[in-house]
A and B are shown apart, each in its own frame.
Chain A
Amino acid sequence: MGLFILRRFAVMILTALCLTFVVFYLTNLYPNLEKVAKTQGSQRMSDVEVSTWLASRGYRTMPDAQLLAGARSGDVPREEFSEAITGFDARLFRNYGEWLGLVPGYVIEGADGTVRARCAGHATPDEATPRFCGLLQGDWGYSTVFRNDVGGIITTRLVLTGKLMFWVMVLMVPSALLIGVLAGMREGTRLDRSLSTFSIASTATPEYVSGVILITLLASSSGWKIFKGTATSAAENATFENFFLPVLTIALYGTGYIARMTRASMTEVMTAQYIRTARLKGVSFRNIVLKHALRNALIAPFTVIMLQFPWLLNGVVIVETLFNYKGFGWTLVEAAGNNDIDLLLACSVVAVAVVLVTQLISDIGYVFLNPRIRIS
């Protein structure tokens, strides 16, 4: 068991490394860096200003001094200049090392004469500035969008998303299991048909559709104004009024899906030999369902529920944006929209961790639910 968990963690670290490098490469493509420079410096910077801005802050190698002078005076045409500065820069590998904390952080004297260091928060370093500052040193970097430490942002936002997910689970799991068991215990009845129709319909409706419909019907003056169409204030003070709609929107999709799984598993169990035996022995239908069928029928849904966690991370992106709830999903959208490199990398690490940890839990949980399976 210990070895199994250890191996899982090794896989997790390897996956995280690969994924973060891909993200790192993509976010460090020149057009993306240009976006960073313009959102942080000014929307209206020229190409030359952008290139020196980037080089002064360690994103890229400083362009040749002659080339810069040429572009400034207009001797080098715009196209030639942008061709010269936008290509692949081998500094990428070094920067990735700096982010990991394996390579000392840069200390660069910029075009404006200011000395900047990664480990001094991209400002002028002093004696107290450490040489290394990366993941290994516990430094997640600095978010260029939110102007804050990534570690702090991710924690705050994950807690908020955790709150959302908790209530989604509270609503989704019991209702899904109930619907699935009720539908699956007597296959083909009217109850089964109507519950199945409901679950298929809710699974087939993506959040961005159901969310909009729910807001229009339940939170605007064109329908009934029962709830609030925005969940911004739920971050500090969640009430039924401002938090129910986002929870319901995410839960609806998952409910249908888990209910379908539970129903399938339940109908299969209900046709098994031992259920027929129990019925022949005269056990009441209620006892058959609760004592004999349920535990076996829940093995498959358990995996599905665990797999819902990583999926929920995706679902919250849409719902949090729609309802303006400032959690992890919303952070991810903001980070991606503004090419916030450090924040995006941290988001990917978190995503990898969530996926693999929930898989681990689901594997271990399986053992307890199904004694026939042993983890070697």
Chain B
Amino acid sequence: MVKEAATRGTVHPAAFMYADEFREGRLSRREFLARSTSLGVSAAAAYGLIGAATPARSEAHMQPGGTLRCQMQIKALKDTRTADWSEIANVTRGTLEYLVEYNNDGSFRGMLLDGWEVNENATLYTLKVRPGVTWNNGDPFTAQDVARNIERWCDKEVEANSMAGRFATIIDPDTNKAIDGAITVVDDATVTLTLPRPDISLIAGMADYPAAVVHENYDPDTPNTFVGTGPYLLEEMEVGVRATLVRNPDFQWWGTEVYGGPYLDRIEYIDFGTDPAAWLAAIESEEVDMLYESVGEFIDVMDDIGLQKSEVVTAATIVVRPNQLSEFDGKRVYEDVRVRRALQLAVDNAVCLELGYGDRGRVAENHHVAPVHPDYAELPPVERNVEEAVALMTEAGMMDFEHEIISIDDDWMKNTTDAVAAQLRDAGFEVKRTILPGSTFWNDWLTYPYSSTNWNHRPLGVQIWALAYRSGEAWNEFGWSNPEFDELLTQALSIADADTRREIVARGEALIQQEGVTIQPYWRSLYRHYREGLVNVDQHITFEHHHYKWAMAA
């Protein structure tokens, strides 16, 4: 079955197991690809394992050259590892590349890494550096660069370095830096990571948007100038106005031989603010060729005016959650599990999807693990039960308590929160809605007593748990702290085999549901509209812009 030519070194044994599961119908193609590629199997080999051909890319229809204008908010660049918006990384991605790239079919493929291997209990990662890559200042890209970047990500002392959360396993809690000896440069082309305990999410972490690989002379204080390995250069960068990427003229990009591209000469990002109506006006008056994202009712409008649509189903979602630590006159109302359960039982998630997001997604089950995640375990469906909700709330003595639900002033997040509020009112609870403008909302998003937050897609279900549901985590907006859950999560994060992991994930899912941690009503589909004549500009599952794939149609 496995063709020798298609595999580099040995194929991880678990990949064969996954392939069997796929054939037995226990795994979807997307899950199979996500799991096997994160174990170091190349995408081509993974397709080979299940006897499928790698999807052909429509190269014949592309022509080199051209300028593409894309609507996107232009936010100030900052130290790459502290980037908190996908938009920031999209501006730098043309130059600053990643070790690994995550694709819409759920697979990971090596960019600056040629490949990787993970040992059986996920405590030893062997990273193979891609040969023949050079920085655009002429320096060769070596294993030293990889090691230095991983060390950079592990520096927890840096304010708001979110990569430290993704690499928490190899960070020494005493020094707040990478553990001595965890990152080893074996030779010019090999780096090994030795983990004190198993962690399956490192490869996924390397593909995430703050994980841009920077040169050793990168200075976080001047984030607009950087040396990178990518085929584009940042020519112009004006916050709130525009950013322009141009093809680096005299640079031989490594990827041309490996993956093809780049095709476009120029990519112009133009900022049209936060109002989707302005985005519509922009694409309608042909000021841009493509939108960053199409949202809400505008999706239908844009379909009607004859634009091309690209859709991708994700694990991106919204949570409408109480914060268990917030106090009202000294009383922590949401610390009472009965109150939280009551709030959850009073809401029908399908209604939230319909009213909040126009049915453009899939109903979720309040535990923040999606069917697209390889470790998803199916639980009995959650149902609205107003009687039980009222009974619980009465038992807690909180029937006359007024819940203030805060949301940002946008389109779908506001509507979804409204749908929750309306259903709570229907159940007989007192609800007050507060809508804050985007500029002030994010100041306190972690500590609002009851509010909604959007969460981006992540490749593995346990990743989001590790970021937001573990006790004391920086982004734990639920104020939830549960030793039993932490214990389950630590276990889950150490099991490379997703089938075994699924049993533990199932218990975690059930625990989050029983504890009424949050209402997490649905999974969003993401959309993008663009004008005719563009190739390979599909919306990406995590909003990444892979510039080298984009092209004009011939």
A residues near B, CB below 8 A? 31, 34-35, 38, 40-46, 49, 53, 112, 123, 145-148, 215, 219-221, 225, 227-230, 232-233, 242, 321, 324, 326, 334, 337-338
CB pair B443 A42 closer than 8 Å: no
CB pair A324 B240 closer than 8 Å: no
User: Which of B282-290, B363-371, B386-394 is the contact stretch?
Assistant: B282-290
- Chain A residue nearest in CB terms to B273: A324
Contacts of A334 in B (CB 8 A): 240
**Could you write out 20 A-B pairs with CB less than 8 Å apart?**
A38-B443, A40-B78, A46-B474, A49-B160, A53-B159, A146-B238, A146-B240, A147-B77, A147-B239, A148-B238, A219-B281, A219-B285, A228-B281, A230-B278, A230-B282, A230-B285, A232-B282, A334-B240, A337-B437, A338-B439
> A221 vs B286: C-alpha distance in the bound complex, in angstroms?
12
CB pair A242 B159 closer than 8 Å: no
The reply to whether the CB of B445 lies closer than 8 angstroms to some CB of chain A is yes
Contacts of A46 in B (CB 8 A): 474
Distance from A70 Cβ to chain B, minimum over Cβ atoms (Å): 17
Distance from A37 Cβ to chain B, minimum over Cβ atoms (Å): 9
> A182 vs B77: C-alpha distance in the bound complex, in angstroms?
56
Contacts of B78 in A (CB 8 A): 40, 42
> A227 vs B159: C-alpha distance in the bound complex, in angstroms?
47
Which A-B residue pairs are the 3 nearest by beta carbons?
A: A42-B160, A229-B281, A228-B285
Contacts of B209 in A (CB 8 A): none
CB pair A145 B239 closer than 8 Å: yes
> A53 vs B282: C-alpha distance in the bound complex, in angstroms?
38
Contacts of A220 in B (CB 8 A): 281, 284
CB pair B281 A230 closer than 8 Å: yes
Other A-B pairs, 13, CB within 8 Å; known A49-B159, A229-B281:
A43-B445, A53-B159, A147-B76, A220-B281, A221-B284, A221-B304, A225-B284, A227-B285, A230-B278, A230-B282, A230-B285, A324-B273, A334-B240
CB pair A44 B446 closer than 8 Å: yes
> A215 vs B82: C-alpha distance in the bound complex, in angstroms?
40
CB pair B440 A35 closer than 8 Å: yes
Distance from B463 Cβ to chain A, minimum over Cβ atoms (Å): 16
CB pair A232 B270 closer than 8 Å: yes
> A324 vs B242: C-alpha distance in the bound complex, in angstroms?
12
CB pair B281 A38 closer than 8 Å: no
> A31 vs B241: C-alpha distance in the bound complex, in angstroms?
27
Contacts of B469 in A (CB 8 A): none
> A228 vs B287: C-alpha distance in the bound complex, in angstroms?
9
Partner of B84, one of A44, A230, A338: A44
CB pair B475 A35 closer than 8 Å: no
- Chain A residue nearest in CB terms to B224: A147
Distance from A366 Cβ to chain B, minimum over Cβ atoms (Å): 40
CB pair A215 B239 closer than 8 Å: no
- Chain A residue nearest in CB terms to B472: A74
> A45 vs B84: C-alpha distance in the bound complex, in angstroms?
11
Contacts of B446 in A (CB 8 A): 44
The reply to whether the CB of B250 lies closer than 8 angstroms to some CB of chain A is no
Contacts of B82 in A (CB 8 A): 41-42
Partner of A45, one of B160, B241, B273: B160
> A225 vs B281: C-alpha distance in the bound complex, in angstroms?
11
- Chain B residue nearest in CB terms to A227: B285
Instruction: Tell which of A123, A225, A242, A324 has the most Cβ of chain B within 10 Å.
Output: A324
Contacts of A321 in B (CB 8 A): 273
Given contacts A232-B282, A324-B272, contact A221 B305 (CB under 8 A): yes
Given contacts A35-B440, A41-B159, contact A229 B76 (CB under 8 A): no
CB pair A229 B284 closer than 8 Å: yes
Contact mask for chain B residues 130-166; partner A; CB cutoff 8 A; 1 contact, 0 none = 0000000000000000000000000001011010000
The reply to whether the CB of B442 lies closer than 8 angstroms to some CB of chain A is yes
Distance from A263 Cβ to chain B, minimum over Cβ atoms (Å): 36
- Chain B residue nearest in CB terms to A35: B443
> A326 vs B76: C-alpha distance in the bound complex, in angstroms?
16
> A45 vs B82: C-alpha distance in the bound complex, in angstroms?
11
Contact mask for chain B residues 443-470; partner A; CB cutoff 8 A; 1 contact, 0 none = 1011000000000000000000000000
> A262 vs B91: C-alpha distance in the bound complex, in angstroms?
53
> A42 vs B221: C-alpha distance in the bound complex, in angstroms?
14
Contacts of A112 in B (CB 8 A): 157, 159
Contacts of B239 in A (CB 8 A): 145-148
